[in-house]
A and B are shown apart, each in its own frame.
Chain A
Amino acid sequence: MKLRSAVCLASAALTLGAVTFAGALPFRATDKIDPVADAKAFQKFFTDKFPKVKYEDFVNGPYSMNEDLHRQWQEKEQFPPYEFSLEMGKEMFSKPFKNGKSYEDCFPNKGIGIRQNYPYFDEKEGKVITLELALNRCREANGEPPFSYVRDEMAALTAYMAFTSRGKPMDIKIPNDPRALEAYQAGKEYFYTRRGQLNFSCATCHVQSPGERIRAEILAPALGIVNAMPIYRSEWSGMGTTSRRFTTCNSQIRGVPLSPQDDEYRNVEYYLSYVSNGLPISGPGARP
């Protein structure tokens, strides 16, 4: 790419972003951090935009946006492509570590039916703890090496844990701790911040354009998007964790991804999960 075209592309993208969005939404009188009001507005935005979509169906991503796709998904669910991962996860979850302990010893209720409570804000550490992070910490605490956050093992473990929570409403808490509110707000900022040479934010695709096509893909709505994680993606021919989804989203818009489980990703998962509170866990999911 020549210098001039690079500069033109970058400038055009930045200008387009400014023109498209500037003034589209009114400023609130105060910038007080109010997660309850945010979640209410977030959910209303999607139910207003898609009045025909059943509320709990938003967790099915692109399959909720289009009748034909919905039928495809129902057929797919007869022989779900994530089944192999689910079986692998179940086996891994029940297999003891070398020290005789297992994942059950690291989680409340022995790790069963708790997916809807992740991520949570750890007041001791002052940071957001995701399920993926908690699983690796469990492994390390028991003398096992951590898994890659973007590979099959982590996807399998989280698939099994999500499956045991299917149907339970997402239930993310923000404790009365200013650091928790800051983490939530930082996650929100990350979600709406444009990045990469294509000048896209998460919201560009998943708020502005759900149901629209981007090349061959139909974009999922942000509401309930994390409830289906991890997902089998036909495009990947395999399973993907939440970390994999975030990092590939970044690289697709020509941004250098951060490291999985960096604060930014943990915070944005916290924000997205909180605003999807009340919607059922549907993971593991399948996507085109």
Chain B
Amino acid sequence: MRNRMLRSTLVVVLLAAGVTSALSAGSEDEFKAAYAAADAANKEAAKLRNQWTTTASTLAAAKKAADAGEFDKATASAKEAEALAKASIFQATSEKTRWKEMEIR
């Protein structure tokens, strides 16, 4: 009986450890994917000579959170950085023609 209880406790502990580890691993993977996407978008903005300072600072915040093991926060920041980088790409692309609307003629 005692052995049975010990075995069940061990199983629960191992399961809990496994779940925790799987959760944090999943979160870290999610962060890595989000960060890679944001970084790629920011590099695209650099090619267009139109990076935003806020993209860089948000990417830095994502990395800092990830270094501290706060992967949920890090992933949120990386996604925010990607949104900012994509907006800067949209801006650079649309301004290729839209600048003329402001021109003094």
List chain B residues, Cβ under 8 A from A27.
100
List chain A residues, Cβ under 8 A from B50.
195, 255
- Is B83 among interface residues, defined by CB-CB distance under 8 A? yes
Most buried by B among A31, A41, A208, A255: A255
Q: A254, B53: Cβ atoms under 8 Å?
A: yes
User: If A22-B101, A192-B99 touch, does A255 touch B53 (CB 8 Å cutoff)?
Assistant: yes
Give the nearest-CB partner of B81 in chain A.
A6
User: If A3-B80, A194-B95 touch, does A11 touch B102 (CB 8 Å cutoff)?
Assistant: no
Q: B91, A199: Cβ atoms under 8 Å?
A: yes
- Encoded as 1 (CB less than 8 Å from any A CB) or 0, chain B from 82 to 98 comes to 01100110111011001
Partner of A23, one of B90, B91, B101, B103: B101
Q: A201, B53: Cβ atoms under 8 Å?
A: no
Q: B100, A195: Cβ atoms under 8 Å?
A: no
- State how many residues of chain A have any CB contact under 8 Å with chain B: 43
Nearest CB of chain B from residue A150's CB, rounded to whole Å: 17
User: If A195-B95, A258-B49 touch, does A21 touch B87 (CB 8 Å cutoff)?
Assistant: no
**Complex Cα gap A45–B84 (Å):** 35
List chain A residues, Cβ under 8 A from B52.
196-197, 254-256
User: If A7-B83, A26-B105 touch, does A193 touch B95 (CB 8 Å cutoff)?
Assistant: yes
Give the nearest-CB partner of A24 in chain B.
B101
List chain A residues, Cβ under 8 A from B92.
195
List chain B residues, Cβ under 8 A from A31.
100
- State how many residues of chain B have any CB contact under 8 Å with chain A: 28
- Encoded as 1 (CB less than 8 Å from any B CB) or 0, chain A from 182 to 205 comes to 000000110011111101010110
- Is B6 among interface residues, defined by CB-CB distance under 8 A? no
B:41-65 near A, CB below 8 Å: 49-54, 56, 58
- Is A234 among interface residues, defined by CB-CB distance under 8 A? no
A:1-28 near B, CB below 8 Å: 1-3, 6-7, 10-11, 14, 17-18, 21-28
List chain A residues, Cβ under 8 A from B103.
25, 188, 192
Give the nearest-CB partner of A189 in chain B.
B99
List chain A residues, Cβ under 8 A from B51.
255-256
List chain B residues, Cβ under 8 A from A24.
101-102
User: If A255-B50, A255-B53, A256-B56 touch, does A6 touch B80 (CB 8 Å cutoff)?
Assistant: yes
**Given known contacts A14-B87, A18-B98, A25-B103, what 7 new A-B pairs fall within 8 Å (CB)?**
A24-B102, A25-B102, A41-B104, A193-B95, A193-B99, A197-B84, A197-B88
The 6 A-B pairs at the shortest CB distance, nearest first, are namely A10-B87, A256-B51, A192-B99, A3-B80, A193-B99, A192-B102
